[in-house]
Chain A
Amino acid sequence: MARPLLFVMAGAAVAVLVGVLLPGGDTTAVVPTKPVAVAQAAAPASAARSGPAASSPYTVDGLRARQALLALWQGRLKRAEDTLVSYQRSTRYPHEARPLSEHPDQVRPFDPIADDIPLRTPGGEAAKGVRVRTTQDRVFASGAESVRFTVRAVDENGKTVPLLVTRATAFDLPDPRQVAGRPQAPVNFVDAGSGDGTLSAVLQPSTQGFADFAGTIRLQVYLNEEGQLGNVYFDVVYQPLVPAEWAGVREALSNGSLDFYLKARVAQPGRYVVSARVDDASGKPFALLSFNDEVGVGAQEFRLTLFGKLVRDAAPVFPLTLRDVQGFLLVPDKFPDRAMMPRLPGAVYTSRSYALTSFADTEWSSEERDRYLAELNKDVSESKRQVEELTR
């Protein structure tokens, strides 16, 4: 045998020896151990009481300790089994093609954000018998996008009561990375014409003094309801940059799945996060498709894959409609962390019709899934082994 090889083997032997002899602690490896040894380390103090009486399984204390350990390992087994079963079921489809029902607040992503709050000033008590209902149609905005806000007041029965907006101004929130002192922009609330006393306003940062600002714009609204005062605040995270523009959609059936290619002219390279909803021909919300990957500059396609087994399991009525597309450039470790692409609300694309058998019926397969299933199965086996040892 070559001498260097011998040395390496000797080194490895020493390493093993050191690994065995080193005391445990924060680097203890997780290896199968005898049930009692592991359990004693992890057991509640009452179960792991020291002394000969506690360590003997034939004493009352010993029996109690064993029962406590058994309960502990039964709990761990249940957690391990739940984790395994849940992961296995969840990942029969890839993370980027999910039933839309799993994402309850992503079904209508462009619906205004509605809130119902007490009428009060910061640090003050809430006004009696009145609440303020607000909406805001987006939090993140880029380029020339505008944001619409509404406010109205209601009494305890939900009936509209008169409300005055005495003042509303938009200003930049303090940010150590930006020069402070930008002039505040007045924002005008007017009757929204909805007949229920709603007042509305629109803020377009690019034309109202924020064209060169990236950060949080706060709209502070001062309210007066028959002498009772209060404030509401709306925040918009604004980024002047529009990183890419949409340029159409195409589809292709590939490997038993349906790919929607969302074309884009990308001005700013980086990680893009894109999502779209799929409804079937009867209008039933069906799937949430997403894309999250690095993209270069120029003409690009974001591929959103409608996974075959998801189609087979849900059996949607064709043709399918792709709707409510949103996308942004994700900027790591910065604020704002994103630059929005223009929203594509409503129906964006209608697919061709396919027979259900055109789609693959196989579960998602990947190194990631295999890795998880192997580890989670190992946890179940180990917990089972411990429970069995303790119930002998």
Chain B
Amino acid sequence: MRKFMRAGLWALGALMVTLATTAVATNYSLWINGRTGGGVLGNYADFSYWGPSSTDAGVNKKSVNWDGYNHISDQNYLVRNALDCHCTGSNWCYVAAHSAGDLMIGYTLSMYGGSTRYKKTAVAGADGVCSNSDGSTQTGWNIKWVDVAAGAGGGSELADAGDWAVSEPLVSDLKTSTARALYDHNNTRSAWFYMYAGAKGTLYSFVLPGQDDEVVAYHSSGGVSGSSGGSYCNPGDWLCNDLTLGTAANQGGRAKWSNHSVVFRDDAEAYNHYTNNAWGGVVSKVRADMVANAR
């Protein structure tokens, strides 16, 4: 009996070691929030920014929570921690980002996409940090592609014009000139950014140029390159250049950032910026894509 118990304990120990270190290839869907935040930092199961956590949002979904208030650079460690946990070794990631989450993942890949990373176990502590798997390292993270809803990588004129509180550090990052100077947006480490741009904006149309979702204009949500914003619209507006679908340069000639492709342009003006804690607005389009393709 004792022999049997000892063997059982050995087996249990071996099981623990195996579970902790075995390189089982797993795909994850990481969701990076925007301004306001809401989820507990480091808790990858807390989807309170987005909506009910029971909602399907891609394979093995994880919520990469940052406070949505402080500077992108201040909070960036939270994103790097999440990528280290879930996108190293034999694990791979699909990334979905909303609003300032676009600025966050773009900054991460441009600044740290080629840095040396320890491979991790994908078992996170309360602070969102995972332990090393076998002590080995790799260059960058394993990211297949990025879906962006209402991307604020190009900033928002609401931050330019003093309409948002200046006491909020993130607002100064979201000034269009600052957001666009923050990093080389073309440098995504060859990962595609699939852009989903909403146009159901009315309240701030006199501030946000061209079509907007009430927080960001098409120049940002459509990944239009340049050091400042511009006016881009749906087809049919004679006074405004079209935001083109795909990777083609926009009407008027301005290119999109490299590795950025507009897959959804809101021609029916039906999607606004807000999740409403229900995976709503243009996030609903990204969620549908994640459900279909992030497997």
Contact = CB atoms under 8 A, between A and B. Distances in A.
A332 interface: yes
Given A42-B291, A335-B71, A376-B144, A14 B186 contact: no
Contact of B227 (A10, A26, A105): A105
Interface in A345-378: 366-368, 371-372, 375-376
A292 B114 contact: yes
Contacts of A218: 166, 172
B73 A337 contact: yes
B238 interface: no
Contact of B184 (A76, A106, A117, A173): A106
Contacts of B26: 27-30
A10 B10 contact: yes
Given A11-B17, A235-B178, A115 B228 contact: yes
Contacts of A30: 25-27, 59, 295
A375 B73 contact: no
* Chain A: number of interface residues, binned into ranges: 35 or more
Interface stretch (A87-95, A250-258, A307-315): A87-95
Highest count of chain B CB atoms <10 Å: which of A30, A96, A216, A271: A30
Contacts of B207: 118, 120, 126
B225 A26 contact: no
Contacts, number: 198
Contacts of B157: 117
Given A14-B11, A104-B186, A104-B255, A42 B177 contact: no
A269 B7 CA distance: 53
Given A235-B172, A235-B175, A235-B178, A83 B140 contact: no
A74 to B, nearest CB: 11
A330 B115 CA distance: 12
A29 B24 contact: yes
Interface in B109-162: 111, 113-115, 138-140, 142, 144-145, 157, 160-162
Contacts of A174: 166-167
Nearest to A89: B190
A233 B184 contact: no
Highest count of chain B CB atoms <10 Å: which of A11, A103, A114: A11
A216 B172 contact: yes
Highest count of chain B CB atoms <10 Å: which of A10, A31, A337: A337
A75 B292 contact: yes
Contacts of B111: 273, 292, 330
Contacts of B176: 115
Contacts of A173: 166, 169, 172
A95 B177 contact: no
A226 interface: no
A140 interface: yes
B142 A123 contact: no
B192 A86 contact: yes
Contacts of B12: 11, 14
Interface residues of B, number: 74
Contacts of B185: 105
Contacts of B17: 11
Contacts of B225: 104-105
B26 to A, nearest CB: 5
Contacts of B15: 11, 14-15, 18
A310 to B, nearest CB: 15
A139 B144 contact: no
Contact of B61 (A10, A26, A38, A95): A26
A11 B14 contact: yes
Nearest to B187: A95
A15 B15 CA distance: 5
Interface in B63-105: 70-71, 73-74, 76-77, 92
Contacts of A136: 177
Contact of A115 (B163, B177, B254, B259): B177
Contacts of B13: 11
A103 B228 contact: no
B236 to A, nearest CB: 22
A343 interface: no
A83 B145 contact: yes
17 contacts: A10-B11, A11-B18, A14-B11, A26-B45, A26-B60, A29-B25, A30-B59, A76-B293, A102-B258, A105-B186, A105-B225, A120-B206, A140-B181, A235-B172, A271-B115, A273-B111, A292-B114
Interface of B: 7, 10-15, 17-19, 22, 24-27, 45, 59-61, 70-71, 73-74, 76-77, 92, 111, 113-115, 138-140, 142, 144-145, 157, 160-163, 166-167, 169, 172, 175-178, 180-181, 184-187, 189-190, 192, 206-207, 225-229, 254-255, 257-259, 291-293, 295
Given A367-B139, A375-B144, 6 more contacts: A7-B7, A42-B292, A75-B292, A122-B163, A139-B181, A335-B71
Top 5 A-B residue pairs of the complex, sorted by shortest distance between their CB atoms: A11-B14, A337-B73, A122-B162, A7-B10, A139-B181
